[in-house]
Chains A and B, each alone.
Chain A
Amino acid sequence: MLRYVIRRLLQFIPTVLGTLFLLHYLTSLAIQFTGNPVRAIFGDRNPNPQVLEQMTREFGLDNSCLTRKFDPCFDLFVDRLGNIFLHFDFGKSLFPRRDVTDILVDAIPYTVRLALIAFLVEVLVGLGAGVLAGLRSGSFADYVVKITTVLIISIPTFVLGVLVRQYVGVWLGNIVRNDWGAPEWLGRGVFGAAYKPEFPWLSLLIPGIVLGSLTIATTARLTRSSLLENLRADYVRTAKSKGLTQNRVIGVHTLRNSLIPVVTSLGLSLGAYMSGAVVTEGIFRIPGVGFTILTAVVRGEAAVLLGLTTFLVLVYLSVNLLVDLFYAVLDPRIRYE
């Protein structure tokens, strides 16, 4: 196991550097071809050249390599890596004048709570539906799960978000609030079109379900197919022929083995939440990391955007690494490869 961990860690370092370089090169190319992004902050107004220059410097975009097309800007990349790994500095925002790290510290709790709700919903509903469909394959329940998951996969998250906000948050919410006279925590907390600071968990419930929906469908499908595959395996037949009870065959022998690929997929869905959070937080106005990213897009603060995204990519890569290591713990075949 130790050898596997060391090998995986050694692979991790070049992957991180390569991924960050790709991100850096893509943004540098975009700047080299279409000009200084700081100009976007001024919109149609014509900025004072000195102010523009000053702001470009503060954003760390004053390197002359950003004016030469296809220049990989290695010195800028090394600078940025140094800032990130030595000083934990992801850049600065000018409106308000703050470090990106401080902005992140404020925003992360919201996103973590949202992701936690989405993850719980995904595990409970996705696994449940998948096991149900897998055990009764060909039944009515299987059919329902199959159709629902295909439908959910086909609805883009932002469409689902806009529709749920209107028809669950507002329309159904109005019925619950006015006609049923529901208590405050249900009527205003759970149902609503936006995040409310006085209900830090309840008002994230519906956005969390929206965020989890895409991965619910993937998890359910994966659980079902993995379970079906294992139910045909030799060891299950052996277990049955030994005379074990159905519960033991399914619960102890089949499920444990079927869930190994599902665990990986669950871990990777944390990465999907990062992209999804931008959409859900934007629609439900949750002041998390995704919302901060959208604000930076609207303001045209490219450097802030790059800092935030770099941070999220690092988180994503670390989660992938942990999932891989966990996978090796669950499945010995991986670590002796």
Chain B
Amino acid sequence: MSDTILGQTETIGPALSPEPPRERSASLWADARRDLIRNPTFVIASIYLLFVGSMAAFPKLWTRVHYRDCALTADNGLPNAKLPMFSPGHWLGTSEAGCDFWSLSVYGARPSMLIAVMSTFGIVIIGLPLGVLAGYFGGWLDAIISRLVDMVFALPFLLVGLVVLSIIKVTDPNLRIWTVTMFLVLLGWTTVARIMRGSVIAVKNLDFVMAAKSLGATHGRLMFRHILPNAIAPVFVIASVALGGFVATEATLTFLGVGLQAPATSWGIMISTHQPLIQDYPHLVLIPCTLLIGTVLSFVLIGDALRDALDPKLR
């Protein structure tokens, strides 16, 4: 099977780039990149995330109306709330409070994406070094870190979230985003630490590490120059899945009333404020649901694609 794939590369290769095609490119990452850009699921999911990400980063790119420019009655005196889709001026209709629904959806991307990206960043910053240390040194350090991981891992996310976040009375929308992020990082870093520990243990006794060690490399050099680059691949898979998971968790916490709160906007807030109206105005619930599911789905699919591309056993 690998022969046929190679054959294809050789025929397509020269047309794509002036470089001569290389025999099964040496590095894992180059192979993975080649696989990924040919994977339609990965490409489509990335394009969708680019769309959502640009909404979160530059909402003004997608809408000129601010999400808090709301009016229960329009200038001509007609009611402006809960308009159906494709109304003049509001192509996705208006919300319960007369806000433009498209603009709400665009601005709603920011809190979800911000929390997901910052939390994922946080769990990698905390989990990666702890996992490397536990895996590399073993012994009592490993015992302590692993026990701590077990304890944090045993705390159910949603339940502890309900307790802790309902006690914390921070109402400022920006501070609330930070609070939720901090909480997600505190309970979420264990997955990265676990994966990293296992991955480092698998790599640390390989020949090239032994070679570097016998040349007198220091612990730090061994860990970060030799082992880490060869052990980090699974973290990318975990991070991608975690991004999707955090988007979902934020929306769930918000839905249950302890995450973000109105007047801020987020997809979770949109779903929970409009769900009593689902019978008569289904689009007010279905639109944020679609955006939310699309985002989580894209992250999960990218995670799957990365896992396949980075697993040398599948080659």
1/0 contact string of A152-187 vs chain B (CB within 8 Å): 011111110011001000100000000000000000
Given contacts A155-B293, A162-B275, A163-B289, contact A305 B252 (CB under 8 A): no
Contacting residues, chain B, for A156 (C-beta < 8 A)? 248, 251-252, 292-293, 296
Let me know if B167 and A312 touch, CB within 8 A.
no
Let me know if A154 and B297 touch, CB within 8 A.
yes
Contacting residues, chain B, for A302 (C-beta < 8 A)? 163, 166-167
Cα A128 to Cα B289 with chains together (Å): 29
1/0 contact string of A289-324 vs chain B (CB within 8 Å): 000011001101010011001001100110010000
Contacting residues, chain B, for A316 (C-beta < 8 A)? 154, 156
Contacting residues, chain A, for B304 (C-beta < 8 A)? 150
Q: Select the stretch in A2-10, A197-205, A270-278 that faces chain B.
A: A270-278
Contacting residues, chain B, for A212 (C-beta < 8 A)? none
Verify if A139 is at the interface (C-beta below 8 Å from B).
Answer: no
Let me know if A35 and B155 touch, CB within 8 A.
no
Q: Select the stretch in A12-20, A112-120, A235-243 that faces chain B.
A: A12-20
Verify if B278 is at the interface (C-beta below 8 Å from A).
Answer: yes
Contacting residues, chain B, for A154 (C-beta < 8 A)? 244, 293, 296-297, 300
Let me know if B163 and A27 touch, CB within 8 A.
yes
Verify if A1 is at the interface (C-beta below 8 Å from B).
Answer: no
The residue among B147, B148, B151, B285 with the most chain A CB atoms within 10 A of its own CB is: B151
The total of Cβ contacts below 8 Å across the A-B interface reads 132
Verify if B47 is at the interface (C-beta below 8 Å from A).
Answer: no
- Residue in chain B with minimal CB distance to A17: B151
Cα A151 to Cα B255 with chains together (Å): 21
- Residue in chain A with minimal CB distance to B255: A158
Verify if A23 is at the interface (C-beta below 8 Å from B).
Answer: yes
Interface range, B side:
35 or more
Contacting residues, chain A, for B26 (C-beta < 8 A)? none
The residue among A154, A162, A279 with the most chain B CB atoms within 10 A of its own CB is: A154
Let me know if B159 and A166 touch, CB within 8 A.
no
| Chain A 100-148 interface residues, beta-carbon cutoff 8 Å to B | none
- Residue in chain A with minimal CB distance to B250: A156
Contacting residues, chain A, for B278 (C-beta < 8 A)? 162, 166
Let me know if A162 and B162 touch, CB within 8 A.
no
Cα A15 to Cα B147 with chains together (Å): 7
Let me know if A15 and B256 touch, CB within 8 A.
no
Verify if A329 is at the interface (C-beta below 8 Å from B).
Answer: no
Verify if A288 is at the interface (C-beta below 8 Å from B).
Answer: no
Cα A294 to Cα B161 with chains together (Å): 12
Given contacts A14-B147, A170-B279, A309-B160, contact A159 B293 (CB under 8 A): yes
**Partner-A contacts on B (CB < 8 A):** 147-148, 150-152, 154-160, 162-164, 166-170, 186, 244, 248, 251-252, 255-258, 271, 275, 278-279, 282, 285, 289, 292-293, 296-297, 300-301, 304
8 additional A-B pairs beyond A278-B162, A294-B256, A313-B155, beta carbons within 8 Å, are A15-B151, A18-B150, A23-B160, A26-B164, A40-B169, A275-B157, A282-B256, A300-B166
**Partner-B contacts on A (CB < 8 A):** 14-15, 18-19, 22-23, 26-27, 30-31, 33-35, 37, 40, 150-151, 153-159, 162-163, 166, 170, 271, 274-275, 278-279, 282, 293-294, 297-298, 300, 302, 305-306, 309, 312-313, 316-317, 320
